[in-house]
Structure 1
Amino acid sequence: MNFKIITIFPEMFNSIMNYGLIARAVKKKLINLFFFNIRDFSKNKNKKIDDRPYGGGPGMIMSFLPLKNSIIQAKKNDQSLIIYLSPQGKKITYKKLKKLSKKKSLILICGRYQGIDQRIIDKYIDEEISIGDYILTGGELAAMVLIDGISRFIPGVIKKKISQHEDSFAKNLLDYPHYTRPRIIDGMKVPKVLLSGNHKKIHTWRLKKSIQQTLLKKPKLFQKRINIIQNKIFQKKSKK
């Protein structure tokens, strides 16, 4: 899969290209990261890519032309989906990440300053995506979150497929607690059931803990699971 990143700070992405899961995926060419520096498309002698907003107000706005030209170059001979990382976008979900992983190529626009010219959004952007209801200094960190989340669904990036299905949110349940060696530390013991070797009991315990965690920490997520189960039961009854 190709990620085409439009940014003024391509160096920020060294952190994911050189370490961890994404670095290994890049090395194996399971994913490719391409960068388009917006300043390279500025005709200003100082490579200026921002200007004052019409109507006044605080801050600066990313200029139309440099951003437009970088998008055109990134999409050249391509049908990439163009995503603008923005707090005004739809909040990313597990389901959405999985859907995006089916795409061959994504263009990710990392805004800066007070934002980008609205006409870019109106004409060129396919989707606006948010990673949460808060403001960052730029879209680069949000783009890295998106790349990481999407890459986990790409075949070969994660060795064991089962780990994806057991992730929090995969089944609208949070993950169960995890323990490793030693069995006792600082006076705290590993739950006996996990040492029993009885996989049926272990599975039941983990499911119970997942439900408890979800009810306690994210009750809306658990309600979503209940709604899905109810809909499936209703559909089965309707077919009879």
Structure 2
Amino acid sequence: MTQPKSPPSKSHGRKAVRPTLTPQPLMTDTPDLHDVWRASVITLFPEMFPGVLGGSLTGRALKDGKWQLDTVHLRDFGEGRHRNVDDTPAGGGAGMVLRADIMGRAIEHALRKGPGPLIYLSPRGRRFDQAMARSLATTPGAIFICGRFEGLDQRVIEHYGITEVSLGDFVMTGGELAAQAVIDATVRLLPGVLGNEASAEEESFSNGLLEHPHYTKPADWHGHKIPDVLLSGHHGEIAKWRQAQSEAITRARRPDLWEAWLAQQG
């Protein structure tokens, strides 16, 4: 009896995909992906990934092989029967500190998978912004270190030249959510992820200003009408209106951005 032939594979991004009834996970160990942006995340909670990165545009791009996500379980490099990864602070004090030797082994493992800047999500780091997202999008990828407890032994930060990055002036229980935010902001700037490349160019912070307001149907909603200029069809006037709106909103809401933008204009 002749066995039925498997359906032919077809090209889908950078991976070969065959029809199957078996659900495919978004995250797999796929070292065969080349020339795609790779995010490696060192974490005590790999089950938190892909998290929000598995939905919408980033999830579709992940599935299509436009970028790759790996997790490195810090506990795998721990010491002793319980795989301990932390110890009490030198000099005393509350809480626990992630050990340099444990984290060092995890970092070396991640570096073997692919090069990239080392980023430690930390409330004392440089504040993440759109410029940093654009810069990260031009790299082969990045290794994200998710802190826990009181933080990471300073020696490992200095030894590897790790960049500390913060989402803002607040403290979270760990770096996983922050890592996902940074990765999301970066991945959407990768070629082919957004679809309409002009969308990224017109967003807040892309030109130093906050974005102008947006409107859509219906033209009149509860007595609130779409500004006439947006319905005029005059693209030059629409562009001037949007620019004026961006300037006014930035001046009122973010004086720091406004001053920086004025300085750039000379």
Provide the TM-score with structure 2 as the length reference: 0.83
Residue 49 of structure 2: SS of its match in structure 1? Answer: helix
**Contact 2:127–2:167 at 8 Å: present in 1 too?**
yes
In the other structure, the counterpart of 1:112 is 148
In the other structure, the counterpart of 1:54 is 90
Task: Give the Cα separation in 1 of the matches to 2:115 and 2:230.
Answer: 49
Question: Please, which of 91, 98, 101 is the counterpart of residue 127 of structure 2?
Answer: 91
Task: Give the Cα separation in 1 of the matches to 2:113 and 2:126.
Answer: 28
Question: Please, which of 18, 22, 36 is the counterpart of residue 72 of structure 2?
Answer: 36
Task: Give the Cα separation in 2 of the matches to 1:118 and 1:147.
Answer: 24
Deviation, structure 1 residue 24:
1.0
Q: Deviations over 1:151-200 (max 9, x none)?
A: 12211111111111111111111111111111122221111111121212
What residue ranges of structure 2 are gaps of 5+ in the alignment?
1-36
In the other structure, the counterpart of 1:238 is none
Q: Does the C-alpha gap of structure 1 residues 208 and 77 become closer, same or farther in structure 2, counting only changes over 3 Å? A: closer
Q: How does 1:225-240 map to 2 (within 5 A)?
A: 225-230=261-266
Task: Give the Cα separation in 1 of the matches to 2:251 and 2:113.
Answer: 48
AA matched with 2:197 = K
Q: Deviations over 1:25-60 (max 9, x none)?
A: 101111100110000111321122221111111111
In the other structure, the counterpart of 2:255 is 219
Residue 144 of structure 1: SS of its match in structure 2? Answer: helix
> Larger % of helix: which?
1
Task: Give the Cα separation in 1 of the matches to 2:256 and 2:237.
Answer: 27
Q: Does 1:14 pair with 2:14?
A: no
In the other structure, the counterpart of 1:233 is none
Identity %: 38
In the other structure, the counterpart of 1:79 is 115
- Poorly superposed stretches of 4+, deviation over 6 Å: none
Q: Does the C-alpha gap of structure 1 residues 125 and 110 become closer, same or farther in structure 2, counting only changes over 3 Å? A: farther
Q: Does the C-alpha gap of structure 1 residues 77 and 26 become closer, same or farther in structure 2, counting only changes over 3 Å? A: closer
In the other structure, the counterpart of 2:62 is 26
Residue 75 of structure 1: SS of its match in structure 2? Answer: helix
Deviation, structure 1 residue 92:
1.5
Q: Deviations over 1:71-113 (max 9, x none)?
A: 1111116432211111121112211211111110211100100
**Contact 1:84–1:125 at 8 Å: present in 2 too?**
no
AA matched with 1:88 = R
Q: Does the C-alpha gap of structure 1 residues 77 and 184 become closer, same or farther in structure 2, counting only changes over 3 Å? A: closer
Q: Does 1:193 pair with 2:229?
A: yes
Deviation, structure 1 residue 140:
0.6
**Contact 1:83–1:125 at 8 Å: present in 2 too?**
no
Q: Does 1:133 pair with 2:204?
A: no
Task: Give the Cα separation in 2 of the matches to 1:19 and 1:163.
Answer: 19
Q: Does the C-alpha gap of structure 1 residues 214 and 180 become closer, same or farther in structure 2, counting only changes over 3 Å? A: same
Ranked by relative contact order (alpha carbons within 8 Å, sequence separation 6 or more), the top structure is: 1
In the other structure, the counterpart of 1:157 is 193
Provide the TM-score with structure 1 as the length reference: 0.91
Task: Give the Cα separation in 1 of the matches to 2:154 and 2:49.
Answer: 26
Residue 112 of structure 2: SS of its match in structure 1? Answer: coil
Task: Give the Cα separation in 2 of the matches to 1:141 and 1:191.
Answer: 38
**Contact 1:165–1:171 at 8 Å: present in 2 too?**
yes
